Amino acid sequence: MDQQQRQEIYETAKQWIYEAGAQIRGHMNEPLDIETKSNPNDLVTILDKQTEKFFVDRIHHRYPKHHIIGEEGFGDTLSHVDGTIWIIDPIDGTMNFVHQKRTFAISIGILHNGVGEIGFVYDVMDDILYHAKRGEGAFKNDSRLAPLDKEKKIKEAIVGMNHFWLCDNKVVDYPVMQKFVRTVRGTRTIGSAALELAHVAEGIQDAYLALSLAPWDVAGGIILNTEVGGVAGDVDGNPWNPLERSPAVVANPAIHDYIIEFLKEGRK
């Protein structure tokens, strides 16, 4: 993808994101028709579906040769990363959206032949847009994000991770993770993977760990992090695969390898 193509797609997607955010804010207090998916805590609302369809319809019309991976099933089923792919989470943090009416995001990552070209994470209620284009840096609204601190120490790190890491799980022995949380400065969880990754890119959080994430949860945020020097992959240190659901680690490069080694100590 050349610079001119990237800029045109970026400007178009940015406009659509602001439009979709306005629609969400305008309708979020109406009856939401809440459903569950994989489990009782995996929620989806009519606005999740309508927002994804909003993007899919516009992408199909303007870029008919582009592919789409979306959370709510309006996209394509892909076994390759050839061409241009939009990876969309219309509302990341649906539980927050339902219960708190805030701390949720629209997340979009746009890849070309497997390379992250454009990333967006839009905090809908606070009207904060994190955005990035390959090779041009990452931004929070109009402010450029600084490269991540390469001198960061693990004992000074704030790490995003939920409490399931400290319970019996299929990924890491939880006593190892209890040791880990006593090693870092602190842990946080806000209920939106996309916003957690935006905060890592901003440098106000130093890593994010997740037991299982789909491509749409992280695509936009990983592209943001790439532009500020962050490292993204699975819990074994392998690169991120945009076609697979997997455990994930996205971190400041100064502490990424330390976290991976810590996780390997307890890997099942």
Residues recognised as catalytic:
71, 89, 91-92, 94, 217
The count of other CB atoms within 10 Å of the CB of residue 133 is 21
Tell me the sheet residues that pair with 188: 160
For residue 235, give both structure tokens.
């819990």
Name the one residue in this structure whose structure tokens are 């940015």.
14
Dihedral of alpha carbons 22, 140, 59, 70, sign: negative
Sheet strands (E) in the chain: 35-36, 43-44, 67-70, 84-92, 105-112, 115-123, 128-133, 138-140, 143-144, 158-160, 186-188, 207-213, 231-233, 246-251
Task: Say how far apart CA 172 and CA 168 lie, in whole Å.
Answer: 8
For residue 179, give both structure tokens.
């040791």
Query: How open is the CA angle 115-224-108, to the nearest 5 degrees?
Result: 75
What CA dihedral angle connects 70, 73, 74 and 80, to 10 degrees? 60
